[in-house]
Amino acid sequence: MKLQKNLLLIPVVVAGVWGLFGLFAPEALMKLLNTPSESINPSLISTHMSLAIAQICLGIFAFWMRSLTDKKAMSGAMSVVALVFLLFGLEGVLVNLIVEGYAWNMFLLIQSIVFIVLAVIFFMKRNPK
């Protein structure tokens, strides 16, 4: 279970960094994601800050999951994190295809691929030995 507990540090760090960055510097994060300046308005900023709070909460849950001692519970926790990473990855790919109109945002695409790869790793390593 040591491998699973070490892997669960990844979502803690990712959620913490993205969540804090999105909470305290939402406009900078939107520019990093190539959001057009004319699209950035108070409504978008407040929505993004709400999503940042949700990311911080996910990081807190992942940190709590590291304290699990039951192998079956740890397997479930790893599966949940794998599903979350998969959803984040697929969302990025769909944004590139649908919202961006096939104009590939390379930062978002690379981030999405990394999340999908992490989802596969977490799912493959979900059962402690």
Instruction: Provide the residue ranges of all domains of the chain, joining segments of one domain with +.
Output: 2-124
pLDDT tens-digit series, residues 50-88? 989 988 998 999 999 999 999 999 999 999 999 999 998
**CB 33: neighbour CB atoms within 10 A?**
14
Q: What pTM was estimated for this model as a whole?
A: 0.82
Q: How many CA atoms lie within 13 A of 87 on its CB side?
A: 6
**CB 108: neighbour CB atoms within 10 A?**
19
* CA 121/CA 26 separation, integer angstroms: 30
pLDDT tens-digit series, residues 91-124? 888 887 887 676 677 777 888 899 999 999 999 9
Let me know: does 49 contact 19? Beta carbons within 8 Å. Answer: no
* CA 119/CA 88 separation, integer angstroms: 9
* CA 46/CA 36 separation, integer angstroms: 17
pLDDT at 30: 83
Q: Fill in the DSSP letter of residue 37.
A: G
